[in-house]
Structure 1
Amino acid sequence: MKSLRIARALLRSKTFWVMALFSAIVVYRFYDEYKKVQSEVVQSWLKTPAADCAVVLTGGPGRVREGFDLLANQRVKKLIISGVYSNARLREIMPVWPFYGNLTENDVVLDRRSETTYGNAQQSLPIVEALKCRDVLLVTSKLHMYRAYHTFRAAFPENIYIQKHSIIGGRYESLVWEASFEALKSLFYSVWAY
């Protein structure tokens, strides 16, 4: 009897219905972000891109190597590696540097200040502008690309063209928990970053 009265009181409560509506909206938005995160296409398999600069977002396997491949194959003129450790040196980041032939260290810029995707975008913009890059290849993983692209698009001016260049660093299909965690981060970023 007591639980029935509590249930009736809850159903008459405006707070209950507001919280239920809010929860439904959050669940819907989370599901929408999850689908968007999962729908990214591996751009590096579809075309051979070219741009003035490439911005590589650290944090996953294969990203830095892909950036160096783009630079070595003259698909980009300058390479920005965003999010490296503060004491990292170029030769430590890319120990196989000697095998890349005629690359010069002047063509690679290390961003040591950013620690998040938002920071990557904010710290890369002045570097991109200083290098006079009109178009940028954004290099990151397939799973991270949706959030990264929208964060960069919100931070960069419209006159700088950003091309997605997603790669696979490990498995092609991400695990459900990995995609869910990325969707949660994307949901958070969609509220304040883009």
Structure 2
Amino acid sequence: MTRVEPESSSAFELLVVGLRFIFDLILLAVVLTVIGFFIFTDNLQRSQPEPRTADGIAVLTGGVARIDEAMKLLTQQKAKRLLITGVNRTTSTEELKQLASQGDQLFSCCVDIDKEARNTIDNATETSQWVARNHYNSVIVVTSNYHMPRALAELARVMPGVTLIPYSVVDNNVHLDRWWTYPGTTRLLISEYLKYLPALARLGATQLVSKLITGKTTVAVEDPSEP
């Protein structure tokens, strides 16, 4: 006589195979995420290469010395105008001038202040509108080194075709060398990396849609280590 296996046994085996597949996918995602984090931290800029000249400078507020570094670049005539994006609505121009060690006289002629942006996505939106109004083709992006990857991803997403030149501000309180021995730095880097991943996904999705519609993608981000 031919023995017929119960249907419940077959269903159970399929369930086990499915759960194992899902577990393997989750494990792979975790491993790739961890590897990506180490690549992320290793690629953060530890120094400030001299940027080439550009049409404009955009500085994203939120970190120590960002505005001061951006004003120095403007004083050195690295660009025509400077946008300070993400300024608190209660902050006055005089208070911003106090953050600049040089070039405060340029506020009246060459500095634009955005008080609408509340996060990096808003920073990118306001910067893209500023770039469009001024018909700029290249922008020096000034922000903290740990924040730069996310800032570039959001800016590249909304400004295809505009050359982005990163100028990373190095915060001495953020210890990138042997970061794992500094709990505060470790928490900051993990938090920034987890915010960077969705930004990278949004950029990738935008590029994919652009590729499908136009047949090409245009994202220009210069390597600051190159002359």
Is 1:156 paired with 2:166?
Answer: no
* Cα contact 2:74–2:80 (8 A) shared by 1: yes
Is 1:177 paired with 2:187?
Answer: yes
When residues 19 and 35 of structure 1 are mapped into structure 2, their CA distance, relative to the original with a 3 A threshold, is same
Counterpart secondary structure, 1:79: strand
Q: Which runs of 5+ in 2 are unaligned?
A: 1-11, 177-184, 205-227
Q: Deviations over 1:135-177 (max 9, x none)?
A: 100001111111111211111021x211011111233524222
When residues 52 and 162 of structure 1 are mapped into structure 2, their CA distance, relative to the original with a 3 A threshold, is same
Matches within 5 A, 1:1-194: 12=16, 14-15=18-19, 17-42=21-46, 44=48, 46-95=49-98, 100=103, 102-158=105-161, 160-171=162-173, 173-174=175-176, 175-194=185-204
* Cα contact 2:68–2:101 (8 A) shared by 1: no
- Superposition RMSD on alpha carbons, in Å? 2.6
Q: Quote the Cα distance in structure 1 between the aligned partners of 2:104 and 2:62.
A: 26
When residues 34 and 186 of structure 1 are mapped into structure 2, their CA distance, relative to the original with a 3 A threshold, is farther
| Count of aligned pairs between the two proteins | 185
* Cα contact 1:118–1:193 (8 A) shared by 2: no
**Moved beyond 6 Å, runs of 4+:** none
Q: Which runs of 5+ in 1 are unaligned?
A: 1-7
* Cα contact 1:34–1:183 (8 A) shared by 2: no
Counterpart secondary structure, 1:138: strand
When residues 42 and 79 of structure 1 are mapped into structure 2, their CA distance, relative to the original with a 3 A threshold, is farther
* Cα contact 2:47–2:170 (8 A) shared by 1: no
Q: Quote the Cα distance in structure 2 between the aligned partners of 1:113 and 1:37.
A: 30
Q: Quote the Cα distance in structure 2 between the aligned partners of 1:24 and 1:48.
A: 39
Radius of gyration: which is bigger? 2
Q: Quote the Cα distance in structure 2 between the aligned partners of 1:142 and 1:96.
A: 19
CA offset at residue 95 of structure 1? 1.6
1:5 aligned partner:
none
Percent identity between matched residues is 23
